Structure 1
């Protein structure tokens, strides 16, 4: 039996579990990551990475690899029932800004996202969880191999049917609409260009078929209402000139909108689909899970019970808000609204999600500007020729100073004087911003004493 006071067991090797593993690894926290499935995931499933997720990947040193493997979303081409076509976009293409270097969603099939995140991560495939018992100072788990493991923390990142959540006795509130289903399949085909996301409307405002070209090969993601017909027959029914040559991963999605009643029970935590499941409308679920892991990883590394208490405080309201957004988009589809396909709400990019008012967001300035404690730290070009994100990248917290001339005490974190970023952060007067390891503003102040107090809170 393995025992280690700081050992964490991650259950589930999807995007959430793999992101957490990378977070723990760079913080030097020992972990094991187990996955019940015998092999890595092979389907396209969640294929959209939001701008905030790209910033997370940049902080993990992976943004370049992801951008090289992915592609921008193409325009949609509707093949109209009466003949002819209509081109449109879910959202307009946004130009990069100094504060937002990657403003558009990146398309990448989920299997490739998992592959890139898993590179170098020692996943134990074919290993499931069967038992979970709280013990003094941690959790004792039993694996389906019969092995017993004593862990300091256990994180359930094992999907909507989470074994960890069930064994921890945490409720999963919400609804599953059995009558609202969608067939999803990965197909290879001939006779169709890959420069558009092709859709075929049905009668009235009904949806009949969609074929979205996936980057990195000649695969398309097929979506259609459930049918007794095969994917090949569904495609042939809308256009006989298109021939499906191969069918890969296939699944039938059921509309589920649920959220765990708690994200923590003692030393057991939930993240990703184990904590919240969404409609795929708006591309929120996978991205929210990655950011759960990004939030939780550094907090586990602090070893501070008080800091760990803030995981649920911060992430549960965010998940509830995002769940509401994706559910409203789903309901528009079901109702056949004219704007059901639009994805131009800036909230979907997840850049505006914040932790304002939470206990780790210390705003001490009497007159703060629009960028406040609890907000995402924006990027900015620096006079040295690099970017602010370059200074923030890594597992450390960072202190940013604006117009500061006083001598600072020795601090256990990097300090960067960045007055050239003041227009983006809209600071006034000598200002100190403590950026947390997950690149949210933790403390905003005009006083050094506030920074020292905050660092003690983070056990730094």
Structure 2
């Protein structure tokens, strides 16, 4: 069996690893001539870290990420080195304590380009990677799928997984719709290096600084203080602004304003426009093609749900190719799960909007002004840019924001045990169950291992996915698949499928 994978981002690379564990050959087709170097995502949830442990790179992530003391907080401030309106320590919350109870794997702060490097450098022998191959078209038959790339090369396989991002050409070719919001907001993602700023920020470290002042409003992500690696998410209005309007000197001036001090060693690495939306594909598969990651869902960034949902897509899907009759449940299971995640993610976006409103920076007013200037016969770009500057300075007021941010319920959370570890597939292959196997240790071959790690251990050993029966007092349903049986750690009987979700007899 051979699976084609369109897109060698983190989700596509995870698919190649997981397919290899199941004894399945894969071919990754990536349109870029080299792997991405822009740190689009960075926050990895506990369940994703469990999956990356199964893949074999979790320890490298923990060893190479920043000290946890440097990213345990979100800070709402006038600027990074100046007045703090509110500091929110995510590692001192009840949600953090529950998360640690539900999983033995800590969350991680590790930029996407470094994750890509780890995944690519450890690809299994079953996987091959073809760079500079942009998807053009596909055809499907009763026994396989054929993909043609823009340069005319053809690839054949039994199935195709589309991991080719938010503007997925595979999804568009198949005519699968995205449903949800329109574009909520535009940003520039500015990736830069400044060891000077990193050194200064270590005096008051945070994973994310939400900066509100009369000159600039933005989000600053500190990837690594020691390396001076940052991403600045800066509001952008493409109807009135163009990338060509900004110079490196402009970016450096903005960074100094956001920092609260003149920063002299800024090195701009890359800049990417980003359209923020909340959308879900109306179906995740069509015949022999399956969507995973951003090709299937687009989320607001708060909470890091985009990357983590993509990793879980891969984990839910890849073992099923050895049991093709179970592929039909993939779309059903992931769709119901992701509907809830999109609600949570969108809720965090509106929390951010409401925080800005309490600084008297109302996005609706900005959009009204934007629409108004669009109808001006000339000079609308200059009028818009000057109007935005003057309006922000005139309207900015932080008196009410201080009080608003003092209430925890108005803040953006960063630890999500319910969404990450407690949500279950309420329908699909297991009609009566679907939650994750419990976070307990079991004895396997005279070694203690987490129960949720056992499916991957058995898959690597057998080169195929295996169902697990933990036999307690009550009988379990009979299934027509190879199973590994052992005594339950409690009186309850469990049937665990290869991705760690279970049916319980209780």
Calculate the TM-score normalised by the size of structure 1.
0.82
Mapped to 2, the partners of 1:24 and 1:354 lie a distance apart of 23
**Selected match of 1:43 from 34, 38, 43:** 38
How do 1:357-368 residues align onto structure 2 when only pairs under 5 Å count?
358-363=427-432
In structure 1, the partner of 2:121 is 119
Q: Is the contact between residue 91 and residue 342 of structure 1 (CA under 8 Å) also seen in structure 2?
A: no
Mapped to 2, the partners of 1:91 and 1:349 lie a distance apart of 16
Q: Residue 34 of structure 1 aligns to a residue in which SS?
A: strand
Q: Tell me which stretches of 4 or more aligned residues in structure 1 moved more than 6 Å.
A: none
**Selected match of 1:68 from 40, 63, 72:** 63
In structure 2, the CA distance between the partners of 1:310 and 1:216, relative to structure 1 (3 Å rule), is: farther
Aligned residues: 416
Q: Is the contact between residue 7 and residue 152 of structure 1 (CA under 8 Å) also seen in structure 2?
A: yes
In structure 2, the CA distance between the partners of 1:110 and 1:216, relative to structure 1 (3 Å rule), is: farther
- Point out where structure 1 has 5 or more consecutive residues left out of the alignment: 1-5, 364-372, 423-428, 447-460
Are positions 1:139 and 2:139 aligned together? no
**Selected match of 2:425 from 321, 334, 355:** 355
In structure 2, the CA distance between the partners of 1:125 and 1:412, relative to structure 1 (3 Å rule), is: same
In structure 2, the CA distance between the partners of 1:376 and 1:136, relative to structure 1 (3 Å rule), is: same
Mapped to 2, the partners of 1:14 and 1:41 lie a distance apart of 7
Mapped to 2, the partners of 1:155 and 1:405 lie a distance apart of 37
State the 1:56 CA deviation: 1.3
Q: Residue 116 of structure 1 aligns to a residue in which SS?
A: helix
**Selected match of 2:276 from 255, 260, 263:** 255
Deviations 1:266-311 (A, max 9, x none): 1111111001111111110011011101111001122x2x300000
Deviations 1:33-81 (A, max 9, x none): 1100111010111110011111111222322122222243332444437
In structure 2, the partner of 1:450 is none
How do 1:206-355 residues align onto structure 2 when only pairs under 5 Å count?
207-214=217-224, 217-226=227-236, 228=246, 230-238=250-258, 239-302=260-323, 304=324, 306-336=325-355, 338=404, 339-343=409-413, 346-347=416-417, 350-355=420-425
In structure 2, the CA distance between the partners of 1:200 and 1:58, relative to structure 1 (3 Å rule), is: closer
Question: Which stretch shows the higher mean deviation, 50-59 or 339-348?
Answer: 339-348
In structure 2, the partner of 1:438 is 499
In proportion to residue count, which structure has more helix? 2
In structure 2, the CA distance between the partners of 1:211 and 1:160, relative to structure 1 (3 Å rule), is: closer
In structure 2, the CA distance between the partners of 1:86 and 1:331, relative to structure 1 (3 Å rule), is: closer
Mapped to 2, the partners of 1:176 and 1:379 lie a distance apart of 39
Root-mean-square deviation (CA, aligned residues, Å) is 3.1
In structure 2, the CA distance between the partners of 1:52 and 1:241, relative to structure 1 (3 Å rule), is: same
In structure 1, the partner of 2:135 is 129
State the 1:436 CA deviation: 0.8
In structure 1, the partner of 2:437 is 377
Mapped to 2, the partners of 1:157 and 1:289 lie a distance apart of 9
- Point out where structure 2 has 5 or more consecutive residues left out of the alignment: 359-403, 460-465
In structure 2, the partner of 1:426 is none
Question: Which stretch shows the higher mean deviation, 201-210 or 21-30?
Answer: 201-210
State the 1:351 CA deviation: 0.7
Question: Which stretch shows the higher mean deviation, 18-27 or 187-196?
Answer: 187-196
Mapped to 2, the partners of 1:445 and 1:200 lie a distance apart of 47
State the 1:188 CA deviation: 1.5
State the 1:220 CA deviation: 1.8
In structure 2, the CA distance between the partners of 1:131 and 1:402, relative to structure 1 (3 Å rule), is: same
In structure 1, the partner of 2:9 is 14
In structure 2, the CA distance between the partners of 1:85 and 1:379, relative to structure 1 (3 Å rule), is: same
In structure 2, the CA distance between the partners of 1:244 and 1:397, relative to structure 1 (3 Å rule), is: farther
Are positions 1:391 and 2:466 aligned together? no
Q: Residue 422 of structure 2 aligns to a residue in which SS?
A: coil
Q: Is the contact between residue 209 and residue 225 of structure 1 (CA under 8 Å) also seen in structure 2?
A: no
Mapped to 2, the partners of 1:123 and 1:62 lie a distance apart of 19
State the 1:224 CA deviation: 2.6
State the 1:253 CA deviation: 1.8
